[in-house]
Amino acid sequence: MSEYLVNIENERLSFFTPAGEVKALNDVSLRLKEGEVLGIVGESGSGKSVTAYSLMGLTAHPGRLIGGTLEFNGHKINDMTEKDMCTIRGKEVAIIFQDPMTSLNPVFTIGNQIREVIKLHTDKSKEEVQARAVELLTLVGINEPEKRLKQYPHELSGGMRQRVMIAIALACEPKLLIADEPTTALDVTIQAQILELMVELKNKLGMAIIMITHDLGIVANMCEKIAVMYAGKIIEYGLTDEIFYEPGHEYTKGLLKSIPRLDAKEHEKLVPIEGTPIDMLNPPKGCPFAPRCDSCMKICLREMPPVTEFSDTHYTSCWMHQKKEFEGGNVQ
């Protein structure tokens, strides 16, 4: 049993599509202790969700793990059979998906879908299961839980449904909760409520959370650590403060510049990151962000940047920092 709840080392995962191999994850390494909250930030297609799903053994066809090791709560995910995975999914690790509108089965009642997961992983009696379901709905702040349990998903609003999804995820008090953009599909006011609920539940229940999002505002509020992903790689990793105040990678800097701030000076403009993410079918040889990078150098186009460490908790992969070391004569 390692000291980490989650320990992903050098994970490589590819989707074997008819058009060719798409390398969705390249040497992704992540560690998470019990009760920690990690944010994974990145654009669509950067591999955030794929990382999380692979941890649950939910990699969609035609994706395949081709290297690295994944450990969770003492289980070696790589070696586990589908049957073994079923015993930890929903029990030790649970997930909340992005779109609550489509994530609940339309033809079953809310109650049916909550009770299902409780029945599956515990041997509670019928009454206890029902009581637990009511308790869960109360926990996630849904009024009149008994009545709601009899309703169908289409009779609830988006925010309500996401609360139900959270209730399902928390049903067996998992050690790790993965939240895959839990607020993206919701209205802004509802977003705030759901996030507040998650913070509250985290404090109450103390589970670890992996928060996947493209919204830096969310991670700033909730997370202790942040991993920034780009094109299937973690390009910067650090404590929340380190990422926000001393961003090391040009992409992180770009992300930070592109969010509006309350303390911005008048007439200060938001700076978007120009260009589009790379074609994952034919990734470039060098730094994947190079084509969009303002400070791009010749080496960036040719070679993958090595890792530069700033502290025990903060590292990045960017040639800019190698340049500093090179010019300072510190190259090993």
Partner 1 sequence: MKENPLSFQLKLKPEDFAPASDSEKESLTVMRESVGFWKDGLRRLKKNKIAMVSLVVIVLVMIFSFIVPSFYPYSYETQIQGANNLSPMTYSSNEQQAIDAGEKVFPHVLGTDKLGRDYAIRVMMGSRISLIVGLVATAIILLIGSIYGSVAAFFGGWTDMIMMRIVDIIYTIPDILLIVLLSFALKAPLESLSQVPGFTWIQIVGKNLISIFIVFALLYWVGMARMVRSQVLMLKESEYVTAARALGASNARIIKKHLLTNCIGTLIVTTTLQIPSSIFTESFLSFLGLGVAVPLPSLGSLASDAINGLNTYPYLLFAPALLISLIILSFNLLGDGLRDAFDPKMKN
Partner 2 sequence: MKKYVIKRVLMAIVTVFIVATLTFFLMNLVPGGPFMSEKAISPQAQAALEAKYGLDKPLGQQYITYMTDALHGDFGDSLKQRGRTVTQIILSKFPVSAKVGGLAILVAVCLGIPLGCIAALNRGKFLDNLISVISTCGIAVPSFVICTLLMYFLGVHLKLLPTFGLASWKNYIMPVASLAFYPTAYIMRLMRSSMLDVLGQDYMRTARAKGLTQFISLFKHALRNAVLPVVTYLGPMMAYTLTGSFVVEKIFTIPGLGSQFIGSINNRDYPIIMGTTIFLATLMIVMNVLVDIVYKLVDPRIKLK
Residue 301 in contact with partner 1, rule: CB under 8 A: yes
Strand order in the sheet with 20-32: 20-32, 6-17, 63-72, 75-76
Residue 323 in contact with partner 1, rule: CB under 8 A: yes
Residue 291 in contact with partner 1, rule: CB under 8 A: yes
Distance CA 183, CA 96 (A): 10
Is the CB of 91 or the CB of 323 nearer to partner 1? Answer: 323
Q: Which residues contact 99 (CB under 8 A, 6 or more apart)?
A: 184, 185
Residue 44 in contact with partner 1, rule: CB under 8 A: no
83 binds, among partner 2, partner 1, none (CB under 5 to 8 A by kind): partner 2
Instruction: Report yes or no: 132 and 118 within 8 Å, Cβ to Cβ.
Output: yes
Distance CA 20, CA 213 (A): 28
Burial (CB count within 10 angstroms: exposed 0-12, middle 13-18, buried 19+), residue 21: middle
Distance CA 332, CA 327 (A): 12
Residue 86 in contact with partner 2, rule: CB under 8 A: yes
Residue 303 in contact with partner 1, rule: CB under 8 A: yes
Q: Whose CA is closest to 229, among 5, 30, 4, 8?
A: 30
Residues 94-133 contacting partner 2, CB under 8 A: 94-95, 97, 99, 102-108, 116-117, 120-121
Read off the amino acid at residue 35.
G
Cβ 100 to partner 2, closest distance in Å? 9
Is the CB of 251 or the CB of 319 nearer to partner 1? Answer: 319
Residue 90 in contact with partner 2, rule: CB under 8 A: yes
Q: What is the DSSP letter of 89?
A: B
When binding is defined by CB under 8 A, the residue of 125, 189, 203, 282 that contacts partner 1 is 282
**Residues interacting with partner 1, by CB under 8 A?**
29, 275, 278-279, 282, 284, 286, 290-291, 293, 295-309, 315, 319, 322-323, 326-327, 331-332
**Residues interacting with partner 2, by CB under 8 A?**
56, 58, 60, 82-83, 85-91, 94-95, 97, 99, 102-108, 116-117, 120-121, 152, 154, 165, 168
